[in-house]
Structure formats: C-alpha cells, structure tokens
C-alpha cells in the first residue's frame, strides 16, 4: 500500500496529516520537557551547600547553575585566583536565599569554602596541633592567617620578641600552634610564639649541653642597648658588651653592629646555673697592645687623632685600640693651660712623643710639648744676668709683679727690687697690670723656670752715693709722717726716702701714750738722724719737735658722708 492509498484509507489529505503530526510533536515535546524539569529540580533548602557549574563570567559576576529554575551569581573576589575561573568548572556554593528581587537565588562560594575548610580542620586537627598557613591581612588586635579557614593570630603571639609592626608578616607563610577551638562560633586562635618558645627551649637545651668557653659561634643580633647587644645563638641569647665589641673606642654599639645582622662571636664566659653567656667580638682579632712596646718605644714621635678630652688631659688614638693620654702638664712648655680644649679639639691630628708605657694597665703617657724645643733651655742664654729687658705686667701679687718677657716666659719683679728708698708694701704702688716696663735680669734658674727682675737696679744705689753724705748722724731735717705702726712712725724725708721714728724716740711727756696719740699721718715734724745703715737701706730718727700737727678725729670718715646728707653707719 502506497502513501496515496494510505491517506485515502484513513480519509486525510497530506496537509491534514502534516498538521496533525505537528500538533502531536508539540504535545510530545511539552510532556518530555515537563517530565525533565520535574526530574531535574531538586528540593532546595536555605543554608545548605550545593554543587553548581560555571555558565559564564560577566565583568565581576560569575554566573553559576545549581539546577534551580534560575541561576545564581558569585562575585569574582570570592575566588582565591580569579585567573583560574573557567566556564564549565564545577564548584560548591552556599545557598543563602531563594528568589531575591531579581528573581535569582543568593549563593556564596566563600561561605561554602569556609564551611568545608572548617569541617576539614575540625576533622583533622585539635588544640595543640601545629598548622601552617599564609597571613592574609592585619586586623584589630592581630593577624588573620589562612590555614584552610581564616584563623586569628593575636599580636602578642606573633613572635617571642616584641614586633614593632605586625603588618610586615602579611603575605608570609607561618607555622603556628592551635591554642583554642570554638566550634559553636567556628573560631580558632593560634600562637606562633608558643611554637617558637617550645622549639627554642629544645634548641637551648641542646646548645647548653655542647657549648664551651672559647668556642666561636654564629648568631643573629636581636636587640641593641646602650651597654651592648644581645645575640641569638640558637635557643638562647648571649650578651656582647660594648667593651668587648672593639679594641678601639666606640660610643654606641650601633656604630659597629646592626639589628638582624649575622655575626660570629667568641664565648667568653658561661653561667650555666643562670643560663647566661658573655660574648666577645674583638677577641676574634689580635689585641693591638700585644706589640705596642715594640711598635711605640719610649721617645718615639708619632701622629694620632684626639678622640676624647677630659679636664686633666686629652686621649690620642695612635691606632685602632691603642690610645695614649697627653696630660695637661705635657701640652706646652710655657703656656698656662687651664683646660686641654685650649690646645686641642676632638678630631684633631696631633704629633706627640711617647713618654712612658704600662703594658699591664694598657696605658701610654704622651707629650705634645716634647715635639718642640723647650724655650727655658734658651732662657739663660737669651736673658743673661744684667740684661735690660722690656715686658708687660701680666699679674700682681702681694709680694711682687709678674712681667711677661715673651709668650710663656715670665719674670718676677719682687717688691724689694722696686725701689732703693721707698718701702713698697704692694707692687700696685709703683706698677699696674698691663703696664709696659723696663727691668734688669737679676738671676735665671731654668730648672725651676724662674727669672728674677729688678726695677731699682736701673739706677745707681743712692745708699752708696748721696744718702750717706746728705743724712749724716746728727743731721736735723724736716719730714712728713706717712704711716703709723705700733712700733713707730715712718717719716718721708724726700720723695721715695723714708726714715723710721721709733716709738722710744718720741717725746711728749704723756705716760702710756701710743704713737697715734702723739702723731697723725700728714704731720710735719722736725727729726734728727740718729742712725744710718746704708747696707740695710735704713735711717733711724728721733723727734725734735712737731711743726704742724693734723689731729685725727675718730669717726671723721663716717661724719663726712653724714654731713653730705648720707645716713651714718652704725
């Protein structure tokens, strides 16, 4: 039976048959799709983990099919490595809600990852276990470490030593010990410090068993203080004191050593009871003092750098670790040095002579003035006795005046050598500080650094010429009382020439009367020469009569200002 016969048999035209077939296929397709949907749509429960497949990536959105009637969206930032997101990949997501305002489901890959990670951590780890992870960010109070799930590492547990900025650990892989698991809150706290302390304790125990004094060990500088540095030897810190860092002079350990610097040190002393280790760094090199006597014999002239100044002298570095003291007394032959800073400054390069070496105490005495000729060696030749010299009065004392002949060379003009005739009680009666005067050299003592000068010696001695002729014994002359003493009065016979009127040679008839009762300064008197001693420069007088008496009145000095309107003193 052909097609035409069949159509005739069933009573349909070809067009009618085609239409009926299309309707039948539509019905079949609808039934099949409905049946497939019923089979594919599962029961979706919020707060559960579902499997899904990545359909597409649009900008920062990842479209995920989880088998629901609508797709879900996950942000690209929820993937650890966005570059590895591939369409068709199967992932797990957490269902947060169904049918949001956009008609889609709310899903989260990050929450699903956290839950799965938590499940793995709880299954495989317990408190006390060691875990490894990467520090992902700094948060309040510490760090967040990813060990499969984010866990909290408190700032106080980051390291054994205090960390200035814990943010430096972000991105680093760290090993920590789990110290607390809170299953209800899905929270884990870890400690890197506790793990390090336990490891360090084991290392310390091993180190203390094998270390010996004299050993050379390698360590890491972990702390720097004013007095030295602490070096981690691997389980225990040793102290490298500043005095054991360099044979030379350093002001602070940081001049030589930096934090975290690897360093080799020598074990100087071990206190096993208190677990203390003293270290040395300079001991790894030879002590420069071991050859100092051969290198710097006494009398050697060398150059060095001034490294320190104290009131009593300056320290000069001859080489690293070898310093000598130039005492203030060894700085100048002639200059009066009150402080070493008048001669040198820190950093100056100076030439010195080695004066003495004490190998045991590691001390060298140096001299600066010894590099120059001692001017006192030439004084005797330059200022021979009898030489007339000019100089400036530099200073006055009760017993005389110091006259500067040249820088550092002073001569003493004693009061007894200032005048042949005047009794000089103080040098200020004849000279003043700063005066330029001419004198005669009387004596020179280079050993004691003394030059004696004379002023009166510039003139002939009148006691050898005119005075004996003019003031013979028995001669009566007039004079003026200049000053009174308990033993008599001095009478000026002519300028700069005085005689002594002894109290026993006064006449007045007053029993028990004193010199001041009889005379006053300024009185004009007539006296007789009763004794003449040219060798001693003395004239003895006796009172003949008082020509003009100026009576002294007690309180005269006080009355004068009172008369001028000033209040008298009590």
Q: Where are the domains of the chain?
A: 3-38, 49-113, 126-196, 211-284, 288-371, 376-458, 462-548
**pLDDT for 154-207, tens place per residue?**
999 998 888 888 989 999 999 999 988 887 777 889 999 998 888 888 888 888
- 537/463 Cα distance (integer angstroms): 7
Contact (CB, 8 A) for 103 and 115: no
- 318/225 Cα distance (integer angstroms): 28
What distance lies between CA 143 and its chain's CA centroid? Answer: 37
- Choice between 507 and 253, residue whose per-residue pLDDT is larger: 253
- 357/377 Cα distance (integer angstroms): 26
Mean pLDDT throughout 519-536? 89
Mean pLDDT throughout 74-84? 84
Asked if the domains at 211-284 and 288-371 fall in one CATH topology, the answer is yes
pLDDT at 557: 44
- Selection from 253, 204, 210 nearest residue 228 by Cα: 253
CATH number of 462-548: 2.40.50.140
**Domain spanning 288-371, CATH class:** mainly beta
SS3 (DSSP) at 224 = strand
Superfamily of domain covering 126-196: Nucleic acid-binding proteins (2.40.50.140)
What six digits make up the tokens of 225?
Answer: 């203080």
**Domain range 376-458, CATH architecture:** Beta Barrel (2.40)
Mean pLDDT throughout 45-67? 87
What six digits make up the tokens of 497?
Answer: 């020439």
The C-alpha angle with vertex 457 and arms to 454 and 460, in degrees rounded to 5, equals 170
pLDDT at 306: 95
pLDDT at 366: 96
C-alpha pair distances (Å), 506 with each of 4, 241, 501, 503 = 194, 85, 7, 5
- Selection from 386, 530, 542 nearest residue 451 by Cα: 386
Specify the pTM: 0.47
**pLDDT for 294-322, tens place per residue?**
899 999 999 999 999 999 999 999 998 89
State the maximum Cα–Cα separation within the chain, in Å, rounded to a whole number.
203
> Please, what's the b/e burial string for 425-450 (b: 16 or more CB within 10 A of its CB; e: otherwise)?
eebeebbeeeeebebbbbebeeeebe
Contacts of 337-342 with C-beta under 8 Å, sequence gap 24+, read 339/311, 340/309, 340/310, 340/311, 340/312, 340/313, 340/314, 341/309
- 342/224 Cα distance (integer angstroms): 36
- 392/390 Cα distance (integer angstroms): 7
**Run of H or E residues at 33:** helix 14-40
DSSP type of residue 546: E
With bands split at pLDDT 50, 70 and 90, how would you rate the model's confidence at 447? confident
CATH number of 211-284: 2.40.50.140
Topology of the domain covering 49-113: OB fold (Dihydrolipoamide Acetyltransferase, E2P) (2.40.50)
């Amino acid at each position: 039976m052909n097609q035409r016969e069949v159509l005739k048999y069933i009573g349909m035209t070809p067009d009618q048959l085609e239409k009926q077939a299309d309707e039948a296929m539509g019905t079949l397709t609808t039934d099949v799709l409905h049946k497939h949907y019923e089979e594919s749509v599962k029961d979706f429960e919020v707060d559960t983990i579902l499997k899904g497949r990545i359909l597409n990536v649009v900008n920062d959105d990842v479209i995920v099919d989880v088998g629901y009637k609508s797709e879900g969206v996950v942000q690209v930032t929820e993937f650890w490595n966005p570059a590895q997101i591939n369409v068709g990949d199967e992932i797990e997501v957490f269902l947060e809600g169904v049918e949001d305002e956009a008609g889609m489901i709310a899903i989260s890959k990050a929450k699903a990852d956290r839950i799965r990670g938590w499940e793995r951590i709880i299954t495989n780890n317990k408190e006390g276990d060691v875990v490894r992870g990467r520090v992902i960010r700094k948060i309040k109070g510490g760090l967040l470490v990813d060990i499969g799930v984010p866990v909290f590492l408190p700032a106080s547990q980051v390291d054994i030593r205090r960390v200035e900025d814990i943010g430096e650990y972000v991105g680093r892989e760290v090993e920590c010990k789990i110290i607390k698991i809170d299953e209800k809150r899905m929270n884990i706290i870890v400690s890197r410090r506790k793990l390090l302390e336990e490891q360090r304790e084991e290392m310390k125990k091993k180190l203390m068993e094998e270390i010996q004094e004299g050993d050379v060990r390698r360590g890491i500088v972990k702390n720097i203080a004013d007095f030295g540095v602490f070096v981690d030897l691997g389980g225990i810190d040793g102290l490298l004191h500043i005095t054991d860092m360099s044979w030379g002079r350093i002001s602070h350990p940081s001049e030589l050593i930096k934090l975290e610097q690897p360093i080799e040190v020598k074990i100087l002393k071990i206190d096993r009871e208190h677990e203390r280790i003293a270290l040395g760094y300079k001991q790894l090199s030879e002590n420069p003092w071991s050859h100092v006597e051969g290198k710097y014999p006494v009398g050697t002239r060398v150059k060095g750098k001034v490294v320190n100044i104290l009131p009593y002298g300056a320290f000069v570095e001859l080489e690293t670790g070898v310093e000598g003291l130039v005492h203030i007394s060894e700085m100048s032959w002639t200059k009066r040095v009150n402080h070493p800073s008048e001669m040198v400054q820190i950093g100056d390069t100076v030439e010195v002579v080695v004066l003495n070496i004490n190998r045991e105490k590691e001390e060298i005495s140096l001299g600066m003035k010894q590099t120059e000729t001692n001017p006192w060696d030439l004084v005797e030749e330059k200022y021979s006795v009898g030489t007339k010299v000019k100089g400036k009065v530099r200073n006055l004392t009760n017993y005389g005046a110091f006259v500067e002949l040249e820088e550092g060379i002073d001569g003493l003009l004693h009061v007894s050598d200032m005048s042949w005739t005047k009794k000089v009680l103080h040098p200020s009666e004849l000279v003043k500080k700063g005066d330029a005067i001419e004198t005669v050299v009387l004596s020179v003592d280079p050993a004691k650094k003394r030059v004696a000068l004379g002023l009166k010696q510039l003139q002939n001695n009148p006691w050898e010429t005119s005075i004996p002729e003019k003031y013979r014994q028995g001669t009566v002359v007039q004079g003026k009382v200049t000053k009174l003493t308990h033993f008599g009065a001095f009478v000026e016979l002519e300028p700069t020439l005085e005689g002594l009127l002894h109290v026993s040679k006064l006449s007045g008839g007053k029993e028990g009367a004193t010199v001041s009762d009889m005379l006053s300064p300024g009185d004009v008197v007539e006296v007789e020469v009763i004794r003449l001693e040219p060798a001693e420069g003395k004239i003895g007088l006796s009172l003949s009569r008082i020509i003009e008496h100026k009576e002294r009145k007690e309180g005269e000095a006080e009355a004068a200002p009172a008369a001028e309107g000033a209040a008298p003193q009590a």
